[in-house]
């Protein structure tokens, strides 16, 4: 199973740059970029921090895709 996300969409709708989001949640801009591109999955802690900061349910940011 793969994890997809809507992080880039939510972030850009709110006019937040990757670096500002990263600073706000205690991460780095490169990590945010990798998560948005699907190169890396967010840890549970990072997913919860993103969810809280963006005021969006974790399930709205991250979706478990079933492989066919």
pTM over 0.85: yes
Contact present, 3 and 62 (Cβ < 8 Å): yes
Give φ, ψ of 6 to 5 degrees: -115, 20
3-state secondary structure 23-38: HHHCCCHHHHHHHHHC
Assign 1 a pLDDT band (cuts: 50, 70, 90): low
- What pLDDT score was predicted for residue 65? 87
Alpha-carbon span 37 to 3, nearest angstrom? 11
Alpha-carbon span 1 to 47, nearest angstrom? 18
Name the least confident of 24-28, 42-46, 64-68.
64-68
2-65 belongs to which homologous superfamily? Answer: lambda repressor-like DNA-binding domains (1.10.260.40)
């Amino acid at each position: 199973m793969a994890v997809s996300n809507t992080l880039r969409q939510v972030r850009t709708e709110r006019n937040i740059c990757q670096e500002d989001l990263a600073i706000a949640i205690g991460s780095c801009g490169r990590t945010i970029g990798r998560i948005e591109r699907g190169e890396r999955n967010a840890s549970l802690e990072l997913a919860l921090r993103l969810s809280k900061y963006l005021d969006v349910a974790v399930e709205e940011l991250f979706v478990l895709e079933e492989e066919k």
